Chains A and B, each alone.
Chain A
């Protein structure tokens, strides 16, 4: 699979003809995808539709996939589980793999941005699920990515924490202007956060629609319901 890293003005990520099969099962059957700088794209799909497989390929974690992916020089991934190293303190987890001057100061600043300025010396095991996920966001953010890949990042959190994390995401995105690919199964979340929604089905992208709502958004906005129904319909759920 061809992989290239380059700066392109019109897109931060371009993927073409991405295919992946596990044995006889074809999970991705030719996916083409472009993400513009600063654009938040939600990737929806039913269980087993290949959303996470696609994200892993875009993240460069799947050497067995076919197709081409052009990545930005800096990208970061937030997974559904926080995936913090349990043997490193929070600050060292955030600073993992960072190079250059003031690594610790930058890590501390990122922790402050996600609302955890005083937990830098805690062990990951001492954090709640929401706090751990905030640290994972800080670990991604500190890399100053042009593109953030998020694999159901708030899916394992309780409803209230999830709402707070969504607000945090909106705030951070407004401040940093990164582009993001958000894999989610939550239609509301997609409509709250994304500029564009994609639906993956049968290994192909079957829907690519902008979200023409102004920020700040709430589920009571006019137009939200119609978009929601349309997406749910596309996902095969009678609304």
Chain B
């Protein structure tokens, strides 16, 4: 026989499952230059067609103003400081919600992943709550916490909780038991094993959870800020709708999209730096 039965199983599952869900860094089939140019053609054509249709009056400006018009509005609102004020407000809500929801998820996910009693007590209710679409909770949350800041932050926290909880849990559970054992034979105590084996082993999953959570946080924010907000990008959009300023509505959408894109990009850079050992894994 080779190894005791209960230690043998989890090993094979580890690496491929993580690799499969993390795209980008080592994508081998990066399109060559010619293809990259080709892939730019259709977006540019669409944008040009939109601009032309708006300018010739084919698209009524109250339905869909020209992209140049949206950019001009963006410039104007950025110049007079309005955009920055609302942007900061939205960012603050996202950050607080993410910190509350993500922190709680990290704690509960670690308790459920590391301790059998934690698994038995924490995981079942979380699994049940997962089935509730958290954006559908808005009416109930309005009754519970009102329509103020608490609502927006609660929504963001709820949205970011589940991806981080599940990926923390899975990241800890997927750690190769044989590595933990090897660390034990090297004289590492429980805390040292957590620090040297469990945490780095779960880190790829944690990053994945954080990326999904940030996506969920923006989505929750979009919905939350449409309920009685006095500030924020969502408020800007709702107010613009009342005055039929379609260009501002579009600008709000653009800002939301850019926020999502930028946060994902930053996180991916952080991930690549932290998980540089996985590049070696791909090189072989």
A residues with a Cβ closer than 8 A to B are 22, 47-53, 56, 59-62, 76-77, 79-81, 83-89, 96-97, 122-126, 139, 143, 151-152, 155
- Judge whether B142 is part of the interface by a CB distance below 8 angstroms: no
B14's closest neighbor in chain A, by CB? A86
Report the Cα distance A66→B276, complex, angstroms.
Answer: 44
B: number of interface residues (CB 8 Å): 28
Report the Cα distance A151→B1, complex, angstroms.
Answer: 10
Nearest-neighbour CB distance to chain B for A64, whole angstroms, equals 10
**Cβ B1 vs Cβ A49 within 8 A:** yes
Question: Residue B182 contacts which of A50, A60, A79, A87 (CB distance < 8 angstroms)?
Answer: A79
Binds A, one of B96-104, B148-156, B186-194: B186-194
Report the Cα distance A123→B182, complex, angstroms.
Answer: 17
- Enumerate the 8 nearest inter-chain pairs by beta-carbon distance, A residue then B residue, closest first: A123-B280, A83-B182, A97-B186, A125-B281, A77-B185, A87-B200, A125-B280, A97-B187
B residues with a Cβ closer than 8 A to A are 1-5, 178-179, 181-188, 192, 196-197, 200-201, 203, 275, 277-278, 280-281, 283-284
**Contact A96-B277, Cβ < 8 Å, known A47-B1, A52-B3:** no
A-B Cβ contacts below 8 A, count:
81
Report the Cα distance A59→B197, complex, angstroms.
Answer: 19
**Contact A61-B181, Cβ < 8 Å, known A22-B5, A125-B281:** yes
In the bound complex, residues from chain B placing their C-beta under 8 Å from that of A139 are: 186
B189's closest neighbor in chain A, by CB? A97
In the bound complex, residues from chain B placing their C-beta under 8 Å from that of A152 are: 2
Report the Cα distance A125→B15, complex, angstroms.
Answer: 12
**Cβ B1 vs Cβ A85 within 8 A:** no
In the bound complex, residues from chain A placing their C-beta under 8 Å from that of B187 are: 97, 143
Nearest-neighbour CB distance to chain B for A212, whole angstroms, equals 29
Nearest-neighbour CB distance to chain A for B110, whole angstroms, equals 18
**Cβ A85 vs Cβ B183 within 8 A:** yes
Nearest-neighbour CB distance to chain A for B163, whole angstroms, equals 22
A48's closest neighbor in chain B, by CB? B1
List, sorted by A's number, 8 A–B pairs whose CB atoms are closer than 8 Å.
A53-B4, A84-B182, A85-B200, A86-B281, A87-B201, A88-B196, A125-B277, A151-B3
